Amino acid sequence: MTEPWWISLIKAGVIVNLIMVAFAYTTWLERKLLARMQNRYGPNRAGPYGLLQPFADLIKLVRKESFFPVAAQHPLYIAAPIVSMFTALAAFAVIPFGAGWQIWHYHVNGEIANVSIALILIFALGSVGVYGAIIGGWASHSKYSLLGAMRTCAQLVSYEVSLALSVLGVVLMGQSLNLVDIVNKQGATIWFFIPQLAGLLVFVFAMIAETSRPPFDLPEADTELVAGYHTEYGGMRWGLFQTAEYVNMITLSGLAVTLFFGGWHGPYAPLGPIWFLLKVFAFVSVFIWIRASVPRLRYDQLMRFGWKVLLPVATINAVITALLVVWVS
């Protein structure tokens, strides 16, 4: 079903703003949940329950002095956070959040762009997003940044393989790379997390590593590297990197919900986007819970886990799924 281009444009504007708000309150939720899990209060000064904290943070970051190293490569240094941010936001364009609606006499799709290779597009954008980290680390002209960027690069590239392989089972079962088709298939049969449990586990682990969240936050290893690839960034440029990280987390949570938990489908009531949001929220909370519970991996453990555990499991899962799909049909 096609829709006029201006509807897509409006929808894109709404979604981008929605994601930014979601991002702002993800930071709030993270600080609050993390604090409560450590018997603290978390932010509680700015507004009731600290609800205005994200805006206070934003104002603080925007008003900060634009400071950068003398030796920095200016165009690249400035471009790096933009690349990160752009790829993080763009990936959400293909994730469906509803079945589509008939508003007046226009048909509105439940996603911004209905792309037949949506899944590949998301992974491609994720790969481009790595450039943000590499360029940022290199253009800063600082040892910490460069080492952080190298680590980030190694980690993201390693885990991208597992991430892509883990969803192969879902693609085989859904018979499509189009996320809308996959969600429709899940609505018609069962949610794919039941037959694809191994795939889901690999996906979640790889997802944490891809978004460089604890326990896989080696790119930012605050204890060893100062702050990884964004050591030399400050103010809103740093804020953009941070935003990109959180938006990636939301996007990949959305992808996980789409691929394994039936997207906008839900029991009891056809709430559409609300089901989708609730599931994403649950996923993000689990992310935070993991952060509160698990210590960080050492670098060799990280690499060993990625290549010797996740990759074989994902491969075997994909092969078995392929055999079963052929055998059943």
Partner 1 sequence: MSPQPLDSLKGFAVTFRQLFKKPVTQQYPEYKRPVYPRFRGRHRLHVHENGLEKCVGCSLCAAACPADCIRVVAEENTPENRVSPGERYARIYEINMSRCIFCGYCELACPFDAITLGNEYEISEYSRDDLIYTKDMLLAEPMKKIPVADRELYDTPIPYYKEHS
Q: Is 40 in the site for partner 1 (CB under 8 A)?
A: yes
Q: Is 38 in the site for partner 1 (CB under 8 A)?
A: yes
Q: Is 66 in the site for partner 1 (CB under 8 A)?
A: no
Distance CA 14, CA 58 (A): 20
Closest approach of partner 1 to the CB of residue 315, in Å: 18
Residue count of the chain: 329
**Span interacting with partner 1, options 2-10, 13-21, 291-299, 318-326, rule CB under 8 A:** 291-299
Q: Is 300 in the site for partner 1 (CB under 8 A)?
A: no
Closest approach of partner 1 to the CB of residue 287, in Å: 13
Closest approach of partner 1 to the CB of residue 198, in Å: 15
Q: Is 320 in the site for partner 1 (CB under 8 A)?
A: no
Q: Is 48 in the site for partner 1 (CB under 8 A)?
A: no
Closest approach of partner 1 to the CB of residue 309, in Å: 6
Kindly tell me which residue out of 12, 20, 37, 150 binds partner 1, with binding defined by CB under 8 A: 37
Give which of 177, 175, 163 is closest to 115, Cα–Cα: 177
Kindly tell me which residue out of 10, 17, 41, 59 binds partner 1, with binding defined by CB under 8 A: 41
Q: Is 298 in the site for partner 1 (CB under 8 A)?
A: no
Q: Is 67 in the site for partner 1 (CB under 8 A)?
A: no
Closest approach of partner 1 to the CB of residue 293, in Å: 4
Kindly tell me which residue out of 194, 289, 316, 325 binds partner 1, with binding defined by CB under 8 A: 289
What residues numbered 143-182 form the site for partner 1, per CB under 8 A?
Answer: none
Give which of 240, 255, 243 is closest to 177, Cα–Cα: 255
Give which of 262, 259, 282 is closest to 272, Cα–Cα: 262
**Span interacting with partner 1, options 7-15, 22-30, 33-41, 76-84, rule CB under 8 A:** 33-41
Q: Is 68 in the site for partner 1 (CB under 8 A)?
A: no
Q: Which residues bind partner 1 (CB under 8 A)?
A: 33, 35-41, 289-290, 292-294, 305, 309
